[in-house]
């Protein structure tokens, strides 16, 4: 498998991470991976490699610029809060990652999906709301609120939202509001899976409640949510 | 494949329908199938045969007695309403079906699951709430309300609830109440999948809105929900 850093431009220089099987011949589907609030690190890179093993070209995007990392919760709050208060910038950076992936000669531009974790889940949903050319958009324990709700006719992606039923960052009222948003925008294809007895950050083995009390790894929800993503990709990619 | 009628006793004589692969040697998992409000008919029997093809012993239960069928919506309302107002009778009939399946020499009694459609989805959840020895309980477009909510420590089954986001028989408030019930009862393992742009009765090709306006087949939701059931069975059976 080939892995390499890849720089691309948005409102700053972004340093992504690319993974693909160099033995594969011909164009193949591409998948974007959007990182958690800590920044592009080993977790998202490992997911990109897992996707490359399935035969996709995977680009783990950089949403903070120059692969900046947050060192603590305050820095996470500053970086994520800054972008969430400027949804145009956030969406611009997401689109820039999509353009960088689509520009690769290995990628079939008609078959691109995006996945994201926590903050990255929000990015994926923002891209989909903005009409990005995605076949699928998958949010793992993402925040579901937005300053720019979906409007009828705009969302092209098949949406899959995977959320912990006890995640305080995506509480029941937020889930209900998201579903209402989807209905109001007459989104063609969306699914929401609620995992009982499951907290925030359930896909990340490093989530042990020490940094963020409400984040806790669940091997079961991790396995189930990844399988649901694969099923959707088998359908639409 | 072997199929046959099978009579068993509850508060009346129930006429179920059994399907299994007679070429299979040794005990194997059993799956109960609970029918819709129309009564045990071709739809539930076909699902039993599909389960038998996967290697399970499938019993399509009879919840109305002597395989009674409803001929119209009024009869559905009478039969279903009668049982829902007497949850002990409903649960008793469910337990009788479980006992009939468990008594078969082909069945590994430690690996039994139950699925149900519409009214049958409610039956499955009632059985699980009542502590039935089920590895999994799967509700397809079932009504989620109950007169006897789950209590801590009682539910043994892994629950999977598959519901149409636009199903007026399971509206958002009902879904929220169900999730709250699960949390309050500290149910160990439950998942709820909400399919966007999907109405009631999405698994049944005969659901075309003519008998019940809010019931409409969806090939996509049918396929996805069946795949989710299979994933859970692969995990726990």
Mean pLDDT to the nearest integer, B206-230? 95
CA A122/CA A115 separation, integer angstroms: 10
Digit-coded pLDDT (tens) for B122-166? 999 999 999 999 999 999 999 999 999 999 999 999 999 999 999
Within 10 Å of residue A226's Cβ, how many Cβ atoms?
17
> Contacts of residue A199 in chain B, CB cutoff 8 Å?
none
The answer to whether A197 contacts B220, with C-beta atoms less than 8 Å apart, is no
Alpha carbon separation from A208 to A56, B120, B221 (Å, rounded):
30, 39, 35
Mean pLDDT to the nearest integer, A167-182? 97
Of A191, A197, A224, the CB nearest to B194: A191
| Percentage of chain A exceeding pLDDT 70 | 100
Of B179, B196, B224, the CB nearest to A194: B179
Mean pLDDT to the nearest integer, A114-124? 98
- Residue with the larger pLDDT of the pair B57 and A213: B57
Please give the pLDDT value at position A100: 98
The answer to whether B176 contacts A179, with C-beta atoms less than 8 Å apart, is no
The answer to whether B197 contacts A187, with C-beta atoms less than 8 Å apart, is yes
Mean pLDDT to the nearest integer, A185-203? 97
> Contacts of residue B227 in chain A, CB cutoff 8 Å?
231
Mean pLDDT to the nearest integer, A21-33? 94
> Contacts of residue B194 in chain A, CB cutoff 8 Å?
179, 191-194
Contact B226, B203 (CB under 8 A): yes
Digit-coded pLDDT (tens) for B110-126? 999 999 999 999 999 99
Of A179, A196, A227, the CB nearest to B165: A179
The answer on pLDDT for A143 being more than 90 is yes
The answer to whether B193 contacts A196, with C-beta atoms less than 8 Å apart, is no
Q: What is the ipTM of this complex?
A: 0.95
Please give the pLDDT value at position B175: 98
> Contacts of residue A196 in chain B, CB cutoff 8 Å?
159, 179, 182-183, 187, 189-192
Q: How many Å is the Cα radius of gyration of chain B?
A: 16
> Contacts of residue B196 in chain A, CB cutoff 8 Å?
159, 179, 182-183, 187, 189-192
CA A207/CA A200 separation, integer angstroms: 9
B24 pLDDT band, cuts 50/70/90, is confident
Of B172, B192, B224, the CB nearest to A194: B192
What is the DSSP pairing of strand B13-20 with strand B2-9?
antiparallel
Mean pLDDT to the nearest integer, B20-38? 95
B74: closest CA of chain A, how far (Å): 31
Which of A156, A174, A112, A114 lies closest to A138 in space, CA to CA? Answer: A114
The answer on pLDDT for A7 being more than 90 is yes
| Percentage of chain A exceeding pLDDT 90 | 96
SS3 A122: helix
Please give the pLDDT value at position A207: 93
CA A138/CA A134 separation, integer angstroms: 10
The answer to whether A231 contacts B220, with C-beta atoms less than 8 Å apart, is no
CA A169/CA A159 separation, integer angstroms: 19
Contact B134, B157 (CB under 8 A): yes
* Closest residue on chain A to B186 (Cα): A197
Mean pLDDT to the nearest integer, B209-215? 89
Mean pLDDT to the nearest integer, B53-73? 97
Please give the pLDDT value at position A25: 85
> Contacts of residue B187 in chain A, CB cutoff 8 Å?
196-197
> Contacts of residue A162 in chain B, CB cutoff 8 Å?
none
Please give the pLDDT value at position A215: 94
Please give the pLDDT value at position A24: 87
Chain A residues in contact with chain B using a Cβ-Cβ cutoff of 8 Å: 159, 165-166, 172, 176, 179-180, 182-183, 186-197, 220, 224, 227-228, 231
The answer to whether B165 contacts A192, with C-beta atoms less than 8 Å apart, is yes
Report chain B's mean pLDDT, rounded to a whole number. Answer: 97
The answer on pLDDT for A79 being more than 90 is yes
What is the DSSP pairing of strand B57-60 with strand B13-20?
antiparallel
The answer to whether B196 contacts A189, with C-beta atoms less than 8 Å apart, is yes
The answer to whether B186 contacts A197, with C-beta atoms less than 8 Å apart, is yes
């Amino acid at each position: 498998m080939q892995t390499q850093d890849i720089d691309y431009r948005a409102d700053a220089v972004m340093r992504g991470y690319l993974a693909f099987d160099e033995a594969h011949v011909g164009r193949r589907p591409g998948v974007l991976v959007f990182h958690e609030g800590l920044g592009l690190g080993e977790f998202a890179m490992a997911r990109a490699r897992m996707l490359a093993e399935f035969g996709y070209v995977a680009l783990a995007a950089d949403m903070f610029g120059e692969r900046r990392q947050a060192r603590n919760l305050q820095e996470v709050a500053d970086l994520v809060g800054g972008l969430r208060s400027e949804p145009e910038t956030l969406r611009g950076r997401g689109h820039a990652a999509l353009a960088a992936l689509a520009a690769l000669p290995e990628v079939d531009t008609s078959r691109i999906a995006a996945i994201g974790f926590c903050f990255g889940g929000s990015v994926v949903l923002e891209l989909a709301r903005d009409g990005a050319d995605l076949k699928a958009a998958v949010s793992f324990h993402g925040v579901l609120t937005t300053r720019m709700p979906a409007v009828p006719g705009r969302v092209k992606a098949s949406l899959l939202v995977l959320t912990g039923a006890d995640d305080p960052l995506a509480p029941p009222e937020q889930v209900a509001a998201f579903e209402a948003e989807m209905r109001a925008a007459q989104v063609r294809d969306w699914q929401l899976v609620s995992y009982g007895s499951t907290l925030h950050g359930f896909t990340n083995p490093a989530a042990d409640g020490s940094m963020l009390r409400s984040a806790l790894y669940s091997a079961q929800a991790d396995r189930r949510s990844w399988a649901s993503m694969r099923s959707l990709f088998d359908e639409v990619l």
